[in-house]
Structure 1
Amino acid sequence: MNDRLPHEKGFHISWDQIHRDSRALAWRLDGNGPEEGGTWKAVVAITRGGMAPAMIVARELDIRTVDTISVKSYDHKSQSLAEVLKSPDAAIMGDGTGILVIDDLVDSGKTLQLVRDLFPKAHFATVYAKPEGRPDVDTFITEVSQDTWIFFPWDMALQYVQPYRGND
């Protein structure tokens, strides 16, 4: 009997890995902003998954203005219609010019499409990307297959895991 979740594949991300991959995202974005010297005006995290990567990117790129946009597009593990629950400061955002919008993952692209409709000139960056959502992100670090479920460290606890075969 298989006790796996109903997802075909699982990709487990540790805190160390999300930190390394978020720093790699910052390195990729460094010097590519539209402001003088290639800088960015602000970082906007898509909550909740984008908060840790956005914090790391903001630190690495010395961006002091950080805000959030709260978008709900999942009910536990099933996708639902994306809706904005909290918007970032309109005075900061404008049409999005000079703004880095950061999320942990682009899956179907529905969340990024909704936010891009609001801020069409923002730069959208994610740490991980799936093929369906890839056209909706400007910069990402790692692509995973569409049928992979990513387990982020904020969704897990340390515990013993039974081996696939055997008892030890």
Structure 2
Amino acid sequence: MSEAAYNKGFPVSWEQMHRDARALAWRLLEKGPYKGIVAITRGGLVPAAIIARELDIRLIDTVCVRSYSDKSRGDIEWLKDVEGDGEGMLIIDDLVDTGKTAKAVREKLPKAHFATVYAKPLGREVVDSFVTEVSQDTWIYFPWDMELSVNAPISERAR
């Protein structure tokens, strides 16, 4: 999907990310226990930290995969992998979009439970658990991608 295909924006605040990651932890609690977490960098790092705290998981590793450049997708590039088949592990990411990255990680760790905070229709079947579904044409603006700024009143912008 090209940048032009994203018709909607969905800004996520730090507070909302925290609430949604905790909601995911509640869902995961009954499916555990887990030996550890594998966070998909970079987006999975923040929700993984929250979920690790909530589920009292101390073993945290990462897979480092690159598939995005700004809002355009590219080929999967593995920067860091993990050992094993994922047995007893929990894979955490912020979002499953088309499922391309998720499928690649799932192939490497087929026995892990895969959870994301947000899911889009094309990727949701790849993950085992998620909290919120958003439409495929929505770009999610995560709190680590935004900064506060002053906005002009609506009346001034409409001129």
Q: TM-score range by the shorter chain?
A: over 0.9
TM-score (norm 1): 0.88
Q: After TM superposition, list the pairs within 5 Å mapping 1:1-168 onto structure 2.
A: 6=4, 7-33=6-32, 39-88=33-82, 90=83, 94-162=84-152, 165-167=154-156
How many Å apart are 1:136 and its aligned residue? 0.5
Cα deviations by residue, 1:55-110 (Å, 9 ceiling, x for unpaired): 0000000000001100100011101111211113x2xxx21111100000000000
**Equivalent-residue separation in structure 2 for 1:162 and 1:62 (angstroms):** 44
Q: May I ask how many residue pairs the two structures share in their alignment?
A: 154
Question: What is the Cα deviation at residue 162 of structure 1?
Answer: 3.9
Question: Where do 5+ consecutive residues of structure 1 fail to align?
Answer: 34-38
* C-alpha distance in structure 2 between counterparts of 1:160 and 1:148, whole Å: 24
Report the Cα distance in structure 2 between the residues aligned to 1:24 and 1:135, rounded to whole angstroms.
19
The percentage of aligned residue pairs carrying the same residue is 61
Determine the C-alpha separation between the residues in 2 that align with 1:104 and 1:162: 31
Distance in 2, Cα, partners of 1:161 & 1:149? 20
Unaligned segments of structure 2, at least 5 residues:
none
Query: How high is the TM-score relative to the length of structure 2?
Result: 0.93
Q: Detail structure 1 runs of 4+ shifted over 2 Å in the superposition.
A: none
Per the alignment, in what secondary structure is the counterpart of residue 154 of structure 1?
helix
SS in 1 for 2:155: coil
